[in-house]
Amino acid sequence: MLSESGQRTWPHGVQFSIKWGTPPALPLENSKSTNSDFVISHSSKHLLVMDKLQTIATSKSLDLDTLDFAQAMDARDPLAHLRSEFEIPTKAQVTANASLDDTPCTYLCGNSLGLLPKRSRRVITEELDEWAHRGVVGHHHHSLGRPWVDYREQIVEKMAPLFGAKPVEVGVMNSLTVNVHLMLASFYKPSGKRTKILIEAKAFPSDHYAVESQIQWHNLPKDAMLLATPRAGERTLRTEDILQLIEDQGEQIAVVMLSGVQYYTGQVFEMEKITRAAQAKGCIVGWDLAHAAGNVPVQLHDWNVDFACWCTYKYMNSGPGGISGFFVHERYAQDPSHHRLTGWWAHDAASRFQMTNEFTPNAGAAGFEISCTPVLVSASLLGSLEVFEMTSIAELRNKSELLTAYLEFLLLKHLGDKIEIMTPAEHRGAQLSVLVQTDLFERAFTTLMAEGIICDERKPDCIRLAPVPLYNTFEDVWVCVNVLRKALE
């Protein structure tokens, strides 16, 4: 029911504010799912997701806030089999508390570090065995058909579809901030009055430091870093304000480099719209996709993005400090004159071993890869990508919308007077950033962790919860809120 005040009222008096507007481009129509309960058209918004949950609950004569409903949702989940692909820590293991039982913990921290795919353990072991048994021969003659010299090819073929990219546009090397620096070395070319880099005011510190140091490297003043700031009294950025900033200062902006998903608030930026507006003003556009990779659908090629970088250890489950990926649009693929910092591995693979010291770049993103692919960390990512090949980013997004909407519903119903959700319902991925009353914050977070509900904190009052569709369940969501309720009663 929609009230005159613009609030949508759900069972038990829970209300959701409505902010009408154009939905972000999320290409969900190609979902592989055959279960209609989990298919949400790409034009749907938060209210329709809640309608779907309520419809299922009604059809089963269940209340939305019951464990029975959560378990019923898990029973009909077409992606439920993917959970068995991961090592789920037990409560006793993750808390180092032997008094807790050996049942799986409730792991809601994939926005920080994803769980271990069993296939990653297998692939790493295979590469260690190859090294042990074949030594240097494994570079070119691998007993399992994965020669180390071509390892990147296997990675980018599997990774590109997650980013709406062509394999030629995707590379793998280094860690995220190193790749941010390398991309800025290639694409940030301050000239005349066009010297600024636009980032969000509360960007992840590493992005802030990288941009700051690039500006210093070019001996430019501090105000060459242009900060997009929320309106007074607001925590998230409005798309229209970002677009207006670009319109007003676009002729002074060399590079726009925002986050695809804001790490603190969980806000998904409208990447296509911002990219189009910035390029219309002559700006280069790059995206830090650390919290978007494996989380929300993106179409980097079709959106004409110039470059992007991401880590792979969050939603992509490559392990702590896992290797980073990057994107360079195809229009730069055959442009050897485009400046980049170079190394041997970026040289044309067909003539690399001729050792001529006359640099000819590989086509595409491979021409930006400086050093050889580190096989063991890439093996971990390869195992995870095998799991992603069992589904699609669209299908994962369908489930993610239901999980996160259910989490929001339970939080507001039971704890609405003690918490606030800062993540905008109309622009979010898996993560909800939950603000807890300051006097209750320590008790809330400490209790969750002690009970094996694994999440993370951003002091003084923020708890980030991220149900990941690859391995989290609706029961996980229910258990989390149930523990939090008891802690704050």
DSSP string, 134-168: HGGGGGT--TTS--GGGHHHHHHHHHGGGGT--GG
Token pair in block for residue 436: 């807890």
pLDDT of residue 93: 96
pLDDT of residue 489: 84
pLDDT of residue 333: 86
Distance CA 2, CA 5 (A): 8
> Which DSSP state fits 192?
T
Please give the sequence-ordered ranges of beta strands (E in DSSP) within 446-489, or none if there are none.
453-454, 456-458, 462-465
pLDDT of residue 19: 32
Distance CA 233, CA 222 (A): 26
Token pair in block for residue 81: 């089999």
* Beta carbons within 10 angstroms of residue 336's beta carbon: 13
pLDDT of residue 32: 38
Strand, coil or helix: 210: helix
Token pair in block for residue 86: 């991961």
Partners of 120 in beta bridges: none
Token pair in block for residue 190: 């301050």
pLDDT of residue 281: 98
Q: Give pLDDT < 70 ranges for the chain.
A: 1-45
pLDDT of residue 81: 98
pLDDT digits (tens, 9 = 90+) for 165-200: 999 999 999 999 999 999 999 999 999 999 999 999
Distance CA 369, CA 361 (A): 9
